[in-house]
Amino acid sequence: MIDDLNHLILAIDKQVKKTYGSKLMDSLQTKRQKSTDEEVYIIFSLENFKYALPIDRVLEIGTVPKITPIPKTPNWLLGVTNLRGDIFSVVDLQLFLGLGKTNHNTGRMMLVRTQQEEFSTILIVDQVNGLFALANSQIKTSTSPIQNKIASFLIGFCTDQEKDFALLDIEKLLNSRELRQFEYI
């Protein structure tokens, strides 16, 4: 049993290195060793713009799973899926934010949770772009250049080494009334 588990872990590491490059694993290890002022974020894309959310809120990243639709729900709630015996709602984040529809054939899923771990859901995004360590001093909280629904779910913005992205307030998003209205269906 332990040999099977070790084999599985090695296979996962090999697939991560193959998909994202060996630098990802090394950079994650390096970023974990940096000062406590820094937090590691996962960078992802929606409609050709990059967003970030804290890595500790992301439980899993992968391909879009098979989704079972739920009738009479908003178009952004794609349905539910079974992920290793647990049932999760699946939200097209672009549709939820009014940015258009994600291509589910090429998109990625991120299983995310609230800080208190009381609520988890799967968000479908265009692409996962990597990891980035960010110091609190690098976050600009000035007024948002984004003027649509997503602006209310942003913490701030960052520009570093030609990387521009917005920081998503995942707590506010996951605890929003609109997103959680189907929690007990």
What is the rounded distance in angstroms from the CA atom of residue 18 to the CA atom of residue 10? 12
Please tell me which residue, 141 or 58, carries the higher pLDDT value. Answer: 58
Could you tell me what percent of the chain has a pLDDT over 70? 68
The 3-state DSSP class for residue 120 equals strand
Please tell me which residue, 115 or 31, carries the higher pLDDT value. Answer: 115
Output the pLDDT for position 32. 47
Q: What is the pTM of this model?
A: 0.73
Mean pLDDT calculated for residue range 41-59 = 88
Output the pLDDT for position 173. 87
Task: Name the pLDDT band for 35 (thresholds 50, 70, 90).
Answer: very low
Please tell me which residue, 77 or 6, carries the higher pLDDT value. Answer: 77
The CA dihedral of 136, 46, 132, 58, to the nearest 10 degrees, is: 90
pLDDT tens readout for residues 64-84: 999 999 998 999 999 999 998
The CA dihedral of 59, 60, 65, 70, to the nearest 10 degrees, is: 20
